A and B are shown apart, each in its own frame.
Chain A
């Protein structure tokens, strides 16, 4: 029994021979070919690659928003058959509902996960649900603007709410789809630091899609580098053996860090350089 659980922890999220073909107006488009990937419990994985290589497709497959044409996906020993709150997604464009306040946006998620009966678990009271929501908003440091609507706060704040919404669901896996892609460099650095702290606290498994080399190395335990599409696959997987907690400034002069960084850059710009678009 213990062995099975250990195996599950080693292969917490598992992609087996995953193929993804989209039917478009121009015919079938093979986006992903034979993707095999195992993610350990509590691990932070980044998927990096040129745009259009299908990295978001991998994320959407794990989220259950897409069904693979072939192959199997597992999460915590169960086959992924559709989207579910145990695999929370932080969307690139935050995807907050503009008619709800920040609090209400997070509450919607909390209410769904903890406000209804699941098997033997009892449903939580309204006060408990609100406490959870407050805690999640507190975690991303937005208590002061919890009653504001998304269009009244900055892009960085919106993304914080998006992260709070995802974390409030207490997911087994946190999926981040270019979470900071639309933010300016300073805000991005800030949020990366905060995300690192939050992930250290929660210890949950995370998969992040990014096109930012520094972001990938700074946050991850492993960086998955994808080859260019169509029929994209996993080119290389880079182990990031840097101790935690990681400090941005110290790393900038760290030789290991710079070595890893040049490894990724070499992969992206030498071996799999994108043809001029």
Chain B
């Protein structure tokens, strides 16, 4: 008995001495740690700078490469202006983007706005038709099977093939262009919305059934929130297609618009402006995509 207690006591003493040493070590460690913190902070800033460069360098290289290839080609082809010449022309052009010298000579700003307006109209109509249709197709098997052959048949048709039909029906260039935007933008919205609706987990639908929710509540409380991310994918694809198609459509229909402007500058043999138009179309498309991505993020429930 005593032996045990003695050995216990020894063990106790051991642990206390152990504690003391660990404390000393700890305080030593603290000093080291403080030194390390300052070191780490400076290295942290270094890390940030490094990661920033890692993030910015590849795209910079990409753009530089594009400019280099462009310069090289422009040297080989004298009729193609180089980056510098185009830049000067762009500065001049954008110094007064909103002049108006009659119907065939408007500033680039007006042309962009005219195109955007057409896209907005065509795209808006496509959303108005495509999203509800996607919901109906996704919700009712019968309608899905009914629409499947029609969609498969019409979806791969080149948007511009619809232009003559538009011209014939609407007897005017502007509605025909909007029609082309509509018909090319409507498919991604229908399909993505329908896919979203068909992917609603059976669990949620069981909840709806057990709660005996009305069709309206099912749509607003279950389907719509679930489908929203899918729908936004469709919307993003649609706006991309719409902006892609507008240039081609306007080349054919004429009037005011970025597509027609490109064609007009081609007739004037103003190649700098054509290149500028290419950049403008690209940048506007990028901005549209960015805005929609931000909206999609806002509406995501996760």
Instruction: Write the residues of chain A forming the contact surface with B, with a CB cutoff of 8 angstroms.
Output: 63-65, 82-85, 87-89, 91, 93, 95, 97-100, 108-109, 112-113, 149, 151, 169
Contacts and interface: CB of A to CB of B under 8 A. Distances in A.
Top 3 A-B pairs, shortest CB-CB distance: A99-B301, A99-B225, A95-B203
A163 to B, nearest CB: 14
Contacts of B217: 108, 112
B210 A97 contact: no
A112 B211 contact: yes
Q: Chain B interface secondary structure, helix, strand, loop or mixed?
A: helix
A95 B206 contact: yes
A260 to B, nearest CB: 32
Interface majority SS on A: helix, strand, loop or mixed? loop
Contact of A85 (B203, B211, B302): B211
Given A83-B206, A85-B212, A97-B207, 14 more contacts: A82-B209, A89-B206, A91-B203, A91-B206, A93-B203, A95-B206, A97-B204, A97-B221, A97-B222, A108-B217, A108-B221, A112-B213, A113-B211, A149-B301
Given A83-B212, A85-B212, A108-B211, A98 B301 contact: yes
Contacts of A149: 301
B212 A112 contact: yes
Which of B206, B207, B209 is most buried by chain A, counting CB atoms within 10 A of its CB?
B207
Interface of B: 203-204, 206-207, 209-213, 217, 221-222, 225-226, 301-302
A113 B203 CA distance: 20
B206 A84 contact: no
Contacts of B210: 63, 65, 83-85, 87-89
B209 A100 contact: no
A126 to B, nearest CB: 16
B225 A95 contact: no
Contacts of B222: 97
12 contacts: A82-B209, A83-B212, A84-B210, A89-B206, A91-B207, A97-B222, A97-B225, A98-B302, A99-B301, A100-B221, A113-B211, A149-B301
B204 A95 contact: yes
A98 B229 CA distance: 13
Nearest to A169: B211
A236 B114 CA distance: 78
Nearest to B224: A99
Contacts of A112: 211-213, 217
